[in-house]
Amino acid sequence: MMLPDFFLYINMKNIGITKVMKWGVDDFTSPAGLMIRCMINPVFRRLLRFGTRRKIVIEQYPKLERGQPYIFSATHSFDDDIISTLSAIDRNAYVLIGTTDQIEHNPQMYAGWLNGMIYVDRLDPQSRKDSVSKMVKVLKHGTSVLIFPEGGWNNTENLLVQPLFSGPYLVHKETGCPVVPIATFHEHNSDKIYIRAGQPMSFENMDKHESLDALRDAMASMVYEMVEAHCTPLKRDDLRGTDFHMAFMEERRLEYLRVRWSRDVWDEELTFYQDKEHPTPEMVWAFIDRVVVHRQNAIILAPILLRREVDKQYDFKEYMHHNWDRK
């Protein structure tokens, strides 16, 4: 946390900062704003390290060219990963923020504005398009950007990195700036955050699919290495008699509740890239959900519908809709 917990649990609304949600491509920043943020960044990064109650451990970071703007592309899975990533990057990087409720109510967002922030409404196609133009503008002025291309947090049990949105590819193609993959790792209830950054990447002579696959592989490889090095092993016997799927969802819920939420925001917060070639379980079940049960098909559908009801209880978005404000 960047501010005392007191400020996170009082019902307040941020003053002034919400205007970032209305700024267009032409007025969201200025040459003077870019210059000032670059000048104060060394001090700002040190302050960020005091803003989290967890110890930040940078295990790997490449030697980057001075004065070269980069597209930093980072994993996204827990509360402090934005703060810790910004503190680890060796230069100012405008960060892409897509959490409306936090901009409106979380005092930490003033630090985001001080660093340099680009707002995106993840549910609005025009806002997503404008965010790319804003990042291109920042990079062409010589300042880096930080993107979390998974969209929302990675709340999956078995994906090291979720499929990526196309932002890093589109911005790279517009600017030619190298892409630096970054991975963060934090084990639940641990007081440490581990960070690794890979070598800069170029997507020259690669199409969008190939580029994003290469970037995702680089990010996932670093996550795997940190899991292998720092994750507490689980014994199979420890899982017997435990609904570990439900336990995992509860861990994720508690991670979200490290900050205050003013309303049910989970349709926006729990966004991820949906590849039509790799349908989600919800997409597969959608057909069954539309089936009308009658006397002739009931005996056939009964076991399928029973399985569907079991699966519904592990739908994390629905779980958050019903439990996000439970103490």
The Cα diameter of the chain in Å comes to 73
Contacts of 150 (CB under 8 A, 6+ apart): 75, 76, 161, 162, 163, 164, 165, 272, 273
Confirm if 134 and 25 have CB atoms less than 8 A apart: yes
pLDDT tens profile 172-214 = 999 999 999 999 999 988 899 999 999 999 999 999 999 999 9
Confirm if 261 and 101 have CB atoms less than 8 A apart: yes
What integer pLDDT is reported at residue 11 of this predicted model?
Answer: 53
CA angle 247, 250, 252 (to 5 degrees): 115
Long-range contacts of 315-323 (CB under 8 A, 24+ apart): 315/282, 316/155, 316/249, 316/252, 316/270, 317/266, 317/267, 317/270, 319/249, 319/253, 320/253, 320/256, 320/266, 320/269, 320/270, 321/264, 321/266, 323/253
Q: How far apart are the first and last CA of the chain?
A: 19
What integer pLDDT is reported at residue 12 of this predicted model?
Answer: 66
Confirm if 109 and 100 have CB atoms less than 8 A apart: no
Q: Which fold has domain 5-230?
A: Glycerol-3-phosphate (1)-acyltransferase (3.40.1130)
Q: Say what the pTM is.
A: 0.89
Contacts of 141 (CB under 8 A, 6+ apart): 31, 34
pLDDT lower than 70: segments of the chain: 1-12
What integer pLDDT is reported at residue 2 of this predicted model?
Answer: 42
What integer pLDDT is reported at residue 73 of this predicted model?
Answer: 98
Tell me where in the chain the CATH 3.40.1130 domain(s) lie. 5-230
